[in-house]
Amino acid sequence: MNCLRIRLNRVFHYRHLPVWIPKRHVSTSLAIRSQYFNSRSKFFSGTQNPNAWDEIEQEAVYPDINDNIYRDELQISLKEFFNERLAFCNPVDDYQGLLREKKDPSPVHDIMKITYSRFDNFNQICQQNNDFPPERGSLVEFIDPATNKANFGIVIQRAESKFNQNYNKVVLLTIANEILKVDSINISFHAYQVLDEAWISNMKILENRFDNKYAARLDLVSIIKEFLAESLKISSSLHHNFKVAYSQFANQSSVSAVSLSELIDSFQFSFALQEQYNISYYHQTQLLLACHLFMCDSPERWIVSSSYKPVNYSNIHLSKCSNGLIQETVYLTNSLHNSAAISGFLEAHRRDPLLPDYHAFILELYSLQTSNSCKSFEKLNEYFRFLQEQKYKSLIDILKFLIIYPHPKLIKLVSQFEVFQNETVTPSTIYRFLKMLKLYDNSSNQLTDIYLSANLIGRDSIRQLAVSSTTDLDSSDTQKLSEALLIPRGSRDKFGHLRNSKKYYQDHVIYGLPLNQGFDSKDSKNSLMGISLEKINSRKYLFNVHIPDFVTRLSPSSNLFKTLMSGSHPLRSLQNLSNNESISILHQEVMNRFSFKNQDPHNTPNYYSVGDGPKSYTHNPPNETTCLTISYTINTFEQNYFLNMDENVTLTLDDISNVKIKNVDWSELEESLQTKNKNILPFRLFSRSKEVDQGKQNLNDSDHHRINFMHSVMHRHFKMRYLEGSNFNPAINIDADNSSNILKKLSYLNEGKINEKLITKLEALSIGDQNHFTRAKFFVNEIDMFISNIISNYCYERNIPIFTHSQGLSDNQEEASDTIISGNSEHEERNLDDEVLVPHNNSLLPAYHASSFYHTLLGKDANGYLSFGAFFIGRNYLSRPIIKILQKSPSPEFKLANENWNESTSHVSYGLAKGHVKLLDIFNDMEVYYNQLQIVSHLHLSYVNHLKRVASQDERRSLHHSIIKQFSHLKLLGYGVQGELADHYLLQMLQKFINSTKLNQYFGIRHKNYWSLKMLEQRLAQQHANDVPIEDRERTIYECIITHPGYDLPTFNKRISRAFCIDLNLEVDILVDLSSDANIGTTVDCDKVLLLDPVVGQCILKEAIRL
């Protein structure tokens, strides 16, 4: 413990100085202490207000270093290193400096001879750039993780391994004439094989890599420099085009995702420019890079995910695919609200670079809020809303935006303010400044959500300056338009003619399952999915899944539908936020109305019935309940009743207004699946029906029997599926964009004492706690897989185009990996064992090495699940998950428009041959709506064809006209009366669904990082507040699984690796020795938080010392 005390002496413990000062800076610090308190502490301390320190001290005495178990100089040095590293990467600034260094001669080669012919459309180019790994001839922009600076180069050798750290990087020749090894996940822009691969191979640059004056090498450098310079030139001429495109895609109070191909298609180029940009594939990729650079340099209208990436996420956890692929860059339109604020601020700077009005305002506000007469949060809202200071609210909006996206153009202007002059302006300093102004983390808004407050994913409901929950947000445009569906006339059933095919008996029960409900929720009033069981005879059953048929209520011609399809609104609800909150695309009341509710139309006194008669009464509840029913016939005498799935499926539109519905929550479902059932006779001549005491229980013995039978069916489906797929326990949520397990609870600080205070405490279910509802979560998840399986087969055999999610093996998975071409000679080979040790939980299996995806499946435990390590290793063999259109016989036009189309639609990691088709969550996902629309259109066409078949020859002449007259209203409402939607329309929707997925993932990941690290910050602060001596504090061990080996920090003789922390349910950075052999799947124990910054999402753990 002496060493600990020595380390503690290296710090000044000034009460009003929450900053670490190493011992080597003691003399300097003493000399400038007075000046420091007169200037810089004005920002940090707010000494005019004696209560200003209460908020800071509640977090920690030393906010820069959170973990107080022990302190060392490594923490201080690491903090200084990341403070000096650029927070934001603007490639335009970096390239202009690199291109000015030396003017190279123009390329002597004819570009047309070393590139490829042009593509028919830019969407094909963007698709292959994202889905294919970098190959020889690819042009790439990459960001050095150590310096966060951009560079540009050409691939001269592809990555030759997945796990061997000497060969798992691409080799680049940069515009600075350097040969570097670069990780694919650090590539921010990828143009796939722009130059001919064979031509570059014949240049033999690697063989002459030590000669930087090698002629062929200099020629190639001049080509890529010319490529980059021309892209920058084109970029400077696209201002008007991007302004028009922004007005087309932007939304008032939320961002929208857009692809480069959509932007180019929206540009109104002249015929001459179109010809110029489409001369060849080389020129087309020049235009794509120009668009990328323009958006990186324009924060007032565009957000580019690769420009601000404080941490290097691994593909294995972020995208569920191989690290050998690039990370997709997400392009977002800034909200119109933020764009107006930033544009006004920039215009004011152009008029007067000193911004005197803004300087005076921010100083006055700071003085006010750090004085004894400071305004409350409510008063501040009024202060900006009604008084003359309203015109300066844009500055507050800019500061909130800079916490999320600190672009250097804006940071440079904000740094001129006196309150920031002696401090490097970062997202964290701006966040602390807003706290000092009582805008963030105040008494009315204890834990402010920095993302919800930034006018990026919604607008606050009462125009307040900060929000902490989605309930504080105003209804979106689509939510307001959806309220029209609450009017009976606006939500009438359009397909009543299809609801007479199926009858249900009086004792039939539908069980509503807790789809999308929080695991701590006891509210089972509404359900988005129901299941039921019908017994045909002693060996045949009908397994029914009931889904709200919202497509029959919302017509494609409605204003709501047109608004959703406009391109500026999200097509998916942003779900699984902290506290299990969501930002829905529809109003909550609409979802409540059309979801399944508890109902018992037969709630009468005891009665006797002979046999089971069908319904013979007309009792209807106030709200009509309809659904799409998917019925699957199960013959228990068959060895495998999942072989011919499409033959056993029946789809109907049903009216279930007179059917009993019992909704169950997670705890009820789990309890039912654990119940030992009594033997129940399959048939009874006399059956006595009696009321169930709803106060005591919701399910009786018959209910338990049916639910457990259906659970056993799902187990058989799982066993069939898991033989081909990599399955992880569905009870455990490890998704990078799912923070629903993080809960906000009110708690008392210093309870029972004079300074007692009500605070908001963050808690989360640990990995172990998530196993409480193992059976229930498995059951609901497997029903989703089961429905996907049978619907995909059903639609495929009937050639009904639907959207499906597929994921295959990476392109080079099946290639031999035991040899590799060395850099000395193309004929010289080295033995390379591209395999990795697989950790597993199968006690009957010894440790083994895997060299393919299917090797990782051998380590499943008794339940068919993989360990964390084996699961992550398996993901490193997979390609990127993509959305496709599932179609058995696509038209030639479809193949021509979608050149990269292929028949393989399997989802390897799910074990589904036709991919994963979404059909269960129609109120939160327009992709589900379109899939259901295709099915309903097919059912309608089948109904019409049936009428024609059964009609006589004489009747058919008049039948055609009567059918047109009867169903003409459906055509006016936008439904496809002639069958499914056309291919070209589905292709347009495909890109919109891809954009919505990227948008939700972008915010979901950052939202989870912020709240997870906020929770860790609270825990560390609580440890310090317990007044336990440092030497007596118990160390916390964080178990981590490596997901990416990371990058080296030679200054520290360390490496920053990326790892999934089981205890935090989050991917973090860990500091390991350079000599460490940790690879993907390796377990590393950490015992200290070296660096923690929730605002930017950064957390670095230190590897525990092995004794």
Write out pLDDT tens, residues 639-667: 888 988 888 999 999 999 889 999 999 98
Identify the DSSP state of 392: G
The confidence band for 597, taking pLDDT boundaries of 50, 70 and 90, is very high
Ranges 7-16, 484-493, 660-669, 779-788: which has the least confidence = 7-16
Taking 60 as the threshold, does the pLDDT of residue 108 lie above it? no
Predicted local confidence at residue 224, as pLDDT? 94
Which residues, including other chains, have CB under 8 Å from residue 481's CB and lie 6 or more apart? Answer: 559, 560, 563
Higher local confidence (pLDDT), 580 or 192: 192
Taking 90 as the threshold, does the pLDDT of residue 1083 lie above it? yes
Higher local confidence (pLDDT), 240 or 443: 240
Which residues, including other chains, have CB under 8 Å from residue 940's CB and lie 6 or more apart? Answer: 495, 498, 967, 970, 975, 977
Taking 90 as the threshold, does the pLDDT of residue 767 lie above it? no
Which residues, including other chains, have CB under 8 Å from residue 325's CB and lie 6 or more apart? Answer: 131, 133, 184, 315, 319, 810, 879, 880
The confidence band for 686, taking pLDDT boundaries of 50, 70 and 90, is very low
Taking 50 as the threshold, does the pLDDT of residue 607 lie above it? no
Taking 50 as the threshold, does the pLDDT of residue 833 lie above it? yes
The span from the CA of 260 to the CA of 1042, in Å, is 33
Detail the DSSP E strand segments found in 213-339.
256-258, 302-304, 331-333
Higher local confidence (pLDDT), 440 or 4: 440
The span from the CA of 1009 to the CA of 994, in Å, is 23
Predicted local confidence at residue 389, as pLDDT? 63
Helix (H) or strand (E) holding 38: helix 33-38
Predicted local confidence at residue 1059, as pLDDT? 96
The confidence band for 900, taking pLDDT boundaries of 50, 70 and 90, is low
Residue count of the chain: 1107
SS3 541: strand
- What are the domain boundaries of the chain? 1-68, 91-333, 336-455
Taking 90 as the threshold, does the pLDDT of residue 413 lie above it? yes
The confidence band for 901, taking pLDDT boundaries of 50, 70 and 90, is low
Predicted local confidence at residue 382, as pLDDT? 84
The span from the CA of 761 to the CA of 1048, in Å, is 37
Taking 90 as the threshold, does the pLDDT of residue 232 lie above it? yes
pLDDT digits (tens, 9 = 90+) for 508-522: 999 999 988 876 665
Predicted local confidence at residue 67, as pLDDT? 64
Residues 144, 146, 152: CA angle, nearest 5 degrees: 15
Ranges 254-268, 535-549, 614-628: which has the least confidence = 614-628
Ranges 77-91, 536-550, 905-919, 1063-1077: which has the least confidence = 77-91
pLDDT digits (tens, 9 = 90+) for 789-820: 999 999 999 999 999 999 999 865 444 333 33
pLDDT digits (tens, 9 = 90+) for 280-339: 999 999 999 999 999 999 999 999 999 998 888 999 999 999 999 999 999 999 999 999
Ranges 351-355, 619-623, 731-735, 738-742: which has the least confidence = 619-623
Predicted local confidence at residue 817, as pLDDT? 36
pLDDT digits (tens, 9 = 90+) for 861-887: 888 889 999 999 999 999 999 999 998
Percent of the chain with pLDDT over 70: 83
Count the alpha carbons within 13 Å of 786 in the hemisphere toward its beta carbon: 28
Taking 90 as the threshold, does the pLDDT of residue 386 lie above it? no
Taking 80 as the threshold, does the pLDDT of residue 11 lie above it? no
Predicted local confidence at residue 104, as pLDDT? 57
Q: What is the mean pLDDT of the chain?
A: 83
Q: What is the mean pLDDT of residues 82-98?
A: 86
Reduced to 3 DSSP states, what percent helix, strand and coil does the chain have, rounded to the nearest 5? 40, 15, 45
Q: What is the mean pLDDT of residues 229-255?
A: 94
Taking 50 as the threshold, does the pLDDT of residue 619 lie above it? no
Predicted TM-score (pTM) of the model is: 0.88
pLDDT digits (tens, 9 = 90+) for 38-67: 333 333 333 333 333 344 333 433 445 566
Percent of the chain with pLDDT over 90: 53
Taking 50 as the threshold, does the pLDDT of residue 35 lie above it? no
pLDDT digits (tens, 9 = 90+) for 944-998: 998 888 887 777 778 878 888 888 889 999 998 888 888 888 888 999 999 999 9
